[in-house]
Amino acid sequence: MFQRWSKKPVDDQPQEPPALLDEPWRELRWGNVQEDRQYVQEYKPAQDDIKYLRVLLYGPVGHGKSSFINSVSNVIRGRISIPALASATLDEAKSFTRKFETHKFNKGRGNEKTIYPVVFNDIMGLEEENKGVHENDIKLALKGHVKEGHKFNPVSLLTEGDKDYNPTPSADDKVHVLVCVLSANAPQIKSSVLEKMKNVRETASELGIPQMAMMTHIDEACGETEKDLKNVYKSRYLKKKMTDFSAAVGIPLNCVFPVKNYSHEIDLNDDVDTLILSALRKIIDFGDDFIEKN
């Protein structure tokens, strides 16, 4: 006798998968802040003629480039500090950064004060045509041709012979790591902006410059991560975001790092520091490999 199977109720919808994976898909050592900070603080470039490992940040307007520099400063110095002015929200219509500026992080005080040998250059945000920084200006910055303090103009590009053009860049002036900054909480990036980013990446690849990406605002984008940052590599949503992010910008997934920038906090947080230091250690490793090869 055949068994009779009852039909599924019409309203029986497939179950949503749980928000968190059973195990993290990327291992991260939590609770090693002092060791990780020491690794960053004690770094020295492989070549004697290079004083600073230079990191250039680029990406769409309002995605957290300046805030990331602030967060790096906090983590390296072990206290809250504000070296780079940043816009308060992702909704800012215009780039807050207008000029080419090198952000250095002080070590010690008074007569004992020195500079940590890792510096960051912030650059005007990428926007649609005739707005934001032009990709050709970013390409010049990669090669060390942009002088400190140069004011970006979307419709008037820096050219050879301009007062802000550096015709003979030293090894110290050139970029050693290119880092794309994108927000996990932002709408889809416009194709024209992605095209500019692709052009910048191609030039960096030709120069052999290592490329990485930071995915910011992970706490705002995912409730599970907002509750506990340690869920970052267990969050299904963030894993998909990072995978899509990797495909969109053409950077391998193992070079994409989720971070939470410091914003409202008045004290350091070990979990925030751990994510930033994880990215910083790789920035230093990749940049130092590039310096050694060149």
- pLDDT tens sequence across 95-122: 455 789 899 998 887 777 889 999 999 8
The upper half-sphere exposure of residue 201, i.e. CA atoms within 13 Å in the direction of its Cβ, equals 19
Predicted local distance difference test score (pLDDT) of residue 89: 46
> How far does the chain reach from its first CA to its final CA, in angstroms?
79
- Kindly list the distances between the CA atom of residue 91 and the CA atoms of 87, 88, 179, in Å, as whole numbers in the listed order: 9, 9, 22
Superfamily of chain region 44-293: P-loop containing nucleotide triphosphate hydrolases (3.40.50.300)
Chain segment 145-191, per-residue pLDDT in tens? 999 999 988 888 899 999 999 999 999 999 999 999 999 998 888 88
**Buried b vs exposed e over 94-129: b needs ≥16 C-beta within 10 Å?**
ebbbeebbebbbeeeeeeeeeebbbbbbbbbbbbee
Q: Higher model confidence: residue 4 or residue 146? A: 146
Beta bridge partners of 120: 55, 103
Phi then psi dihedrals of residue 75, to 5 deg = -70, -45
Q: Tell whether the model's pLDDT for residue 249 goes beyond 70.
A: yes
Mean pLDDT of all residues belonging to the chain: 88
Distance CA 274, CA 15 (A): 34
3-state DSSP assignment of residue 108 = coil
- Indicate the domain borders of the chain: 44-293
How much of the chain, in percent, has pLDDT values that exceed 70? 89
Predicted local distance difference test score (pLDDT) of residue 88: 46
Smallest CA-to-CA distance from 75 within 288, 265, 290, 291 is with 265
What mean pLDDT comes out for the span 72-94?
A: 68
Q: Tell whether the model's pLDDT for residue 215 goes beyond 50.
A: yes
